[in-house]
Structure 1
Amino acid sequence: MALNRSTLSEQIYEILRNDILTQKIPCGEKLTLNTLKERFQVSSTPIRDALTRLEKDGLLQYYSNIGVNVIDLNAKDLKELFTFMGDLDALAIRYASGYPQQQEVRRALIQNLEETQKYLNTSDIRQWRSCSDGLHLVFYQYCDNSRLCSSALQMRSQITIYSNRYEREVENREKVFEEHQKIASAFLNGDIEGAVKKMQSHLQDSLAQALCLL
């Protein structure tokens, strides 16, 4: 595969990240430097840089004397992951409710729902996921807390591995969109704690879907 030499590490990172999130490279698979060098036809340096970034994203695990593997989560891991993500999203909602320019937050939520609905019945799962994730990210965008955003970044990458799979089904996307509408509606109506509870319930529903994939 020919790559632009000026941005080798970035390109390799993006390709491998997408392969993991879409499970072209499945959970638990070992990645070897020699195999990746052969695939990308580059030296080891940009590959190592890309793998380091993917580890920080929470998508890879290094094992002493073994190498690097794509993460492979069990039922306990998933329960911790989705529950914690629900708590982080709840904090983002509460913090975003205090953002001085609430009209910006409201406009972003409404625009997200309108954009997400366009891809509800499409085969473009990647665009759907981008819009679907966007509902959650609106609250982080306006939470004005960089540490909260940083904590959530890794969690969202891991969750995407599973949501990419169960949201291929239109009925599952419809359920997700309906829950997003309820979360946004509560927030827009000033019911912040209602939005929090709906968000946490939404993550528990997503957990149930993810557990079915194990």
Structure 2
Amino acid sequence: MEKNNIKQIIRPTLKDQIYEALKNAIVNLELEPGQRLNDNKLAEQFAVSRTPVREALKRLEDEGLVEAFPGSSTRVTELVEEEAKHAFTVVAALHALATKLAVPKMTDRDFMRLEEINRVLAEALERKDSNEAIEADEQFHQVFLAVAGNVEIDKALERIIPKIHRLTFKKFDSVDSLTSINQHGDIIAICKKGDKEQAAHLVEENWLTLGRLLSDESV
């Protein structure tokens, strides 16, 4: 029997779909910190049995986005800004590492993609569309992750990023995000020169700057 290189398509399971839907709702604050989650009602809402809902909630609990109280209820974890501040330092370091791995492999196409995303970010900020701006900022850094192709970095970020995004959605409108656009421009320029060490430093500082702005008591 002949072998072929066709990869099997992996379809997301019900629990994965429910997990993603709930995680997104928690991150963008549609489900507010402290809000109770009833697995029966969620099962009705998703038109599924309680099993995949409970499995999704358990995964969210493992990631610190919900907390379960024995014999009581499950709630969205409170947003603790001090924890988010600590998360920023880890995320900054991981993105810096991804950048260092990515720069030597980047092409003109990647640079054009970064420039286009930064334009989209600037336009979103001009329209005061915080959702699109946050998405554009995320896409900017995803370029480096995709080129780096390091699965372990991706896995580590997947567990930490949601904690940061909740704080971002809460305070993004109050932050002067023009700083990020300028920093992105500097990052692109250095990447074109092939200086992976400086590019990694600028990416790390970009994340730490956002963390400082979002954690500012005056914001």
State the TM-score, normalized to the length of structure 2. 0.77
Alignment partner, residue 199 of structure 1:
203
In the alignment, the residues of structure 1 paired with residue 136 and residue 50 of structure 2 have an alpha-carbon distance, to the nearest angstrom, of 35
2:108 to 100, 103, 107: 103
Alignment partner, residue 16 of structure 1:
22
- Structure 1 residues 53 and 189, CA gap change in structure 2 (3 angstroms): same
2:138 to 125, 133, 137: 133
How far off is 1:75 after superposition? 4.5
Identity of aligned residues (%): 25
- Structure 1 residues 65 and 211, CA gap change in structure 2 (3 angstroms): farther
How far off is 1:185 after superposition? 2.3
In the alignment, the residues of structure 1 paired with residue 148 and residue 69 of structure 2 have an alpha-carbon distance, to the nearest angstrom, of 36
Superposed CA offset, 1:169-213 (max 9, x none)? 4x6232322222222222223333222222222222222233247
Residues 96 and 139, structure 1, Cα contact 8 Å, conserved in 2 = yes
After superposition, residues 10-159 of structure 1 pair within 5 angstroms as 12-37=18-43, 39-40=45-46, 42-55=48-61, 58-62=64-68, 67-99=73-105, 102-159=107-164
Residues 58 and 157, structure 1, Cα contact 8 Å, conserved in 2 = no
Larger Rg: 2
Residues 105 and 138, structure 1, Cα contact 8 Å, conserved in 2 = yes
How far off is 1:88 after superposition? 0.2
Superposed CA offset, 1:25-77 (max 9, x none)? 22243323234345445431232243245346553344555553323353442
- Could you list the runs of 5+ residues in structure 1 that have no partner in the other structure? 1-5
Superposed CA offset, 1:140-168 (max 9, x none)? 00012111111112222221111122222
Q: Give the AA of the match of 1:77.
A: E
In the alignment, the residues of structure 2 paired with residue 184 and residue 165 of structure 1 have an alpha-carbon distance, to the nearest angstrom, of 28
Residues 172 and 214, structure 2, Cα contact 8 Å, conserved in 1 = no
Superposed CA offset, 1:110-161 (max 9, x none)? 2322332332222433222221101111110001211111111222222111
Alignment partner, residue 183 of structure 2:
179
Q: Give the AA of the match of 2:196.
A: I
In the alignment, the residues of structure 1 paired with residue 181 and residue 74 of structure 2 have an alpha-carbon distance, to the nearest angstrom, of 36
Alignment partner, residue 166 of structure 2:
161
Task: Count residues in correspondence.
Answer: 207
Q: Give the AA of the match of 1:121.
A: E
- Could you list the runs of 5+ residues in structure 2 that have no partner in the other structure? 1-11
How far off is 1:96 after superposition? 0.1
Residues 56 and 154, structure 1, Cα contact 8 Å, conserved in 2 = no
In the alignment, the residues of structure 2 paired with residue 150 and residue 15 of structure 1 have an alpha-carbon distance, to the nearest angstrom, of 19
- SS of 1:91's partner is helix
